[in-house]
Structure 1
Amino acid sequence: MNATLDSIPVLQSEGQILAEVNGCLGLITLNRPEALNALSLAMIRDLTTLFRAWAQAPEIEAVVLMAAGRPGKPAAFCAGGDIRFFHRAALEGDTSLEDFFTEEYALNHLIHQFPKPSIALMDGIVMGGGMGISQGCKLRVLTEHSRLAMPETNIGLFPDVGGGYFLNQCPGQLGKWLALTGQALAAGDAIELGLGDVFVQSAALPAIVEAFKFKPQSSAEHVVATVMERVDLAPAADLPALRARVDQHFSLPDVAAIMASLAASEEAWAQQTHATLLKRSPLMMAVTFEQLTRAKTLSLAEDLRMERDMVQRCFHLRPGAGSETVEGIRALAVDKDHAPRWQPARIEDVSREAVLAFFESPWSADQHPLRDLK
């Protein structure tokens, strides 16, 4: 590893982010495997520091983003943001929760705008915040273990980190279906939908990482070729066969109509999808539907500003334990009773006014925390 001290900035996350330089390559490892590499605020700050520094460093021509694993355990690139922190911070009124979302969304934008080749090795679970830091990479590498999802409605949240932007790029109504259900995608379907680029066997990853760390990396082209020479044929995609069904139901004008349509169908897929939606927060499904509708015409920066408004409302419209998000996290990850008490409990009782409140920005344009995103 022939790094110069100037190439690696000082990091703050106490080893949760590892940075190395080999020739022209900057290598970043998410190193919180016991938490499935879920993002902490310190990790977000270190990732921001590295991407900003390496964007400006002429000796760095490419960046790789990867994740540490746990021996003998399934892989996880990044399971999302640290939701237990969200729960605690919301109940305690910890203002670092505000910093988390502002800085995370700014990081998502920074990665999308990064001016050099960036590669994400998306082995295993890639959910929520993991999608946020990988979707902006130029080469998104999937394996047979990859499982991509935006499962936020399961915790009373919405698909943030730019989800309104990148899910809308999926064909037909598939993005809306993914947003509302939180359905996980395997590699073949993720590549088919444009959420991944290439497939490699997980057995090939150690050789790729070994090359990145220890073999000469003389140019960005060489870094990319290190992956591309091991690319394999992606598994067949299942979703094209489902596309017509998804479009039929999820093109309807609101969530209540979608659920009624699914309930009226005798197909097993429709019944299973309806059962999934019955477990989600009715309010946040309606908010998510509105998010995806509005984001169709937005740039990434505009979408992230909208999502920053929305997440502020998630924790402050009904503060503390009254928050739909706090309740969803409680049920899934804190008490683990898997019995969230959604308010309201039925989609029919979600008012238009309650949904629109999430889209009223608490900031003027010149005071918005993400006003500088272009």
Structure 2
Amino acid sequence: MEDGNVEHNDVLIERSGQLGHLVLNRPQAMNALNHAMVKAVAQALDEWETDDGVATVLISGAGERGLCAGGDIVSIYHDARTGGNSSEQFWRDEYHLNARIKRYPKPIVTLMDGVVLGGGVGISAHASHRIVTERSRIGMPETGIGFVPDVGGTYLLSRAPGEMGTHAGLTGSMVSGADAIAMGMASHYVDSGLLPTLVAELAERNASTVVARYGQLPPESALGKQRWWIDEAYAPDCVETILERLARVGDPAATAAAEKIAAKSPTAVAVTLAALRRARLQPSLEAGLNQELRVSLRALRWPDFAEGIRAQLVDKDRNPQWSPASAAEVPHDVVEGAFADLGDRELNLTAPDQDTDMQ
């Protein structure tokens, strides 16, 4: 398949037996997704849906560092600074792809090996077969750049047991493959050394049979063992109260979590908490993505978004100057306004036949 929109073969599109294989191919950028890559993956899925020669789709990342480190944030940074609108179309196409992956009529196997962040979660964690390894490091680190988890991230995190998802979303921390399975963000644990053989077998055999054959019992989730304080501390719907509870736990991990949250954008943390609470009540991934576009477009204009990307990825001084500087100072109308209807700019995704996802 040829796609003139993909520069430098940023997505390799391969066929082997009954397997259609999509390789995110920007290893120098940890396979960060740009708009052309999103469109290339979507086009391949469209073509393979009606191709009887393709029984299974596989999504993996080139290089040794991971599947995907997220979206191409630097280009979004320039859009935010100049008041442009190219980010909006990127997000629209990306969110459509996230929903497409979840509803795809053929098995999609994703190799969530190594680093999987942000947009990488969106392109992998909605698939039917989501494989993690001992090398997996998975996270939604958006609050650290003044943004809010998107690509269905609030939907996924809100459905993790207890408050594990709230902890991961507010702190922006990466979790292990075992944690991802415990949180419901991955389905199978496989030793990374077995992945080449697994991929070879997918070309000839049923996806569920192959993945089940290689799947192993994951190690115990370290995050799951901490639920004794996580569920209690993150239960409130107020960031200040959560920070107070974390400070009272008396466990080093809880203290570290409070310090991480305090270092993030207060606006982003407050809106993320509100987004997670709202996402719990939504019936489908599509409803979650509709909400996320509203929030993303509002966040694009927050001072913290451009400042967070500047500090982390442009100047790399790791010293963002958030405005406002504390959770107590975040205006209520800013949080509520993030969820306001977009009118004719709404994403308007709907679940098939208005069906709802299993809880």
Using the size of structure 2 for normalisation, the TM-score is 0.93
Name the residue aligned to 2:160.
Answer: 170
Name the residue aligned to 2:30.
Answer: 36
Q: Residue 370 of structure 1: which of 344, 347, 350 is its match?
A: 347
**Unaligned residue ranges in structure 1 (runs of 5+):** 1-7
Q: Are 1:253 and 2:230 an aligned pair? A: no
Question: Matches of 2:75 and 2:325 in 1, distance apart?
Answer: 26
Residues 1:155 and 1:18: Cα distance change in structure 2 (over 3 Å): same
Aligned sequence identity (%) = 36
Name the residue aligned to 2:357.
Answer: none
Find the residue that maps to 1:278 and give its secondary structure: helix
Question: Matches of 1:344 and 1:127 in 2, distance apart?
Answer: 26
5 Å matches for 1:215-226?
217-218=203-204, 221=206, 223-226=207-210
5 Å matches for 1:57-206?
57-69=51-63, 74-206=64-196
**Unaligned residue ranges in structure 2 (runs of 5+):** 352-359
CA contact (8 A) 1:176 1:289 kept: yes
Question: Matches of 1:281 and 1:100 in 2, distance apart?
Answer: 23
Q: Residue 10 of structure 1: which of 3, 12, 17 is its match?
A: 3
The number of residues matched between the two structures is 349
Q: Are 1:235 and 2:234 an aligned pair? A: no
CA contact (8 A) 2:27 2:62 kept: yes
Residues 1:181 and 1:372: Cα distance change in structure 2 (over 3 Å): closer
Q: CA deviation at 1:11?
A: 5.2
CA contact (8 A) 2:307 2:320 kept: yes
CA contact (8 A) 1:9 1:50 kept: no
Question: Matches of 1:227 and 1:170 in 2, distance apart?
Answer: 23
Question: Matches of 1:62 and 1:11 in 2, distance apart?
Answer: 25
5 Å matches for 1:331-346?
331-346=311-326
Q: CA deviation at 1:175?
A: 1.0
Question: Matches of 1:163 and 1:243 in 2, distance apart?
Answer: 20
Q: Kindly provide the CA deviation profile for residues 216-259 of structure 1, in whole angstroms up to 9, marking residues without a partner as x.
A: x345x1x4434433333322221232112001110023111001
Q: Kindly provide the CA deviation profile for residues 8-58 of structure 1, in whole angstroms up to 9, marking residues without a partner as x.
A: 353521200011122321111000000000100110111111112222323
Q: CA deviation at 1:207?
A: 2.5
Name the residue aligned to 1:5.
Answer: none
Question: Matches of 1:302 and 1:203 in 2, distance apart?
Answer: 38
Find the residue that maps to 2:78 and give its secondary structure: helix
Q: Kindly provide the CA deviation profile for residues 86-140 of structure 1, in whole angstroms up to 9, marking residues without a partner as x.
A: 1122223333211111111111011011111110011100110000011111111
Question: Matches of 1:261 and 1:169 in 2, distance apart?
Answer: 22
- The amino acid that maps onto 1:60 is V
Q: Kindly provide the CA deviation profile for residues 182-207 of structure 1, in whole angstroms up to 9, marking residues without a partner as x.
A: 12111111112211111111111223
Name the residue aligned to 2:280.
Answer: 296
Name the residue aligned to 1:24.
Answer: 18
Q: CA deviation at 1:315?
A: 1.5
- The amino acid that maps onto 2:111 is L
Question: Matches of 2:11 and 2:350 in 1, distance apart?
Answer: 24
Using the size of structure 1 for normalisation, the TM-score is 0.89
Residues 1:194 and 1:357: Cα distance change in structure 2 (over 3 Å): same
- The amino acid that maps onto 1:182 is G
Q: Residue 310 of structure 2: which of 321, 325, 330 is its match?
A: 330
Residues 1:86 and 1:75: Cα distance change in structure 2 (over 3 Å): same
Residues 1:369 and 1:55: Cα distance change in structure 2 (over 3 Å): farther
Name the residue aligned to 1:306.
Answer: 291
Residues 1:91 and 1:351: Cα distance change in structure 2 (over 3 Å): closer
Q: Kindly provide the CA deviation profile for residues 138-178 of structure 1, in whole angstroms up to 9, marking residues without a partner as x.
A: 11111111011111101110111111211111001111111
Question: Matches of 1:270 and 1:188 in 2, distance apart?
Answer: 20
Q: Kindly provide the CA deviation profile for residues 333-363 of structure 1, in whole angstroms up to 9, marking residues without a partner as x.
A: 11111111111101111121121111112x3
Question: Matches of 2:106 and 2:200 in 1, distance apart?
Answer: 22
CA contact (8 A) 1:9 1:53 kept: no
